[in-house]
Amino acid sequence: MEKKIFKGRVICKGNYEGECVVSRQGLNTLATFQKSALMNKKKVIGSDQNNPDVFGKNLTGVALILPQTIGSTTGGLVIQTICQMKINPSALLFSEEIDSLAASGVILAKNWENSDIIAIDKLGNDILSEIKTGDKIKISEDGTVEVIK
């Protein structure tokens, strides 16, 4: 069996090995993260009922694979806030080019909150079909994402 390896552009580098959650549709950051943040929870449970890929799933400390973020212009601030609260995903892995709101959120979190969040984009749409929620992956600082069997 051939190894599944994806290479993208590094926005915020880091290393990670662990579980992933895959959203095959755009992720609404406000709808997904806000409820846990407002209730001062110790972890984020996806609260966007319109996204069955993340609804009800723990998103704290996992690698979140998605095409892009969508929705409200507060998206960047929501990402920064969950990083400040230390309830963020360990990584945001984008199949497409990172959108400006998500980019602003991870960059602010990295610089203002000293967050260790990883962000990689341009991984290609195959990552959304070839990696499944619950798969174990390894992320390297050079932007390589590999499925661990």
Q: How far apart are CA 111 and CA 91, in angstroms?
A: 16
Q: Can you say whether the dihedral through the CA atoms of 60, 80, 68, 121 is positive or negative?
A: negative
Q: What is the pLDDT of residue 3?
A: 83
Q: What is the pLDDT of residue 149?
A: 76
Residue type, 76: G
- Tokens 């992720």 sit on residue: 27
Give 65-100 pLDDT, tens digit per residue.
999 999 888 999 999 999 999 999 999 999 999 999
DSSP state of 43: S
Q: What is the pLDDT of residue 90?
A: 98
Q: How far apart are CA 75 and CA 69, in angstroms?
A: 8
The pTM (predicted TM-score) of the whole model is 0.96
Q: Which residues of the chain have pLDDT under 70?
A: 1-2
Give the DSSP H or E segment for 71: none
CATH number, residue 106: 3.50.30.10
Residue range(s) defining the domain that contains residue 72: 5-148
Q: What is the pLDDT of residue 1?
A: 53
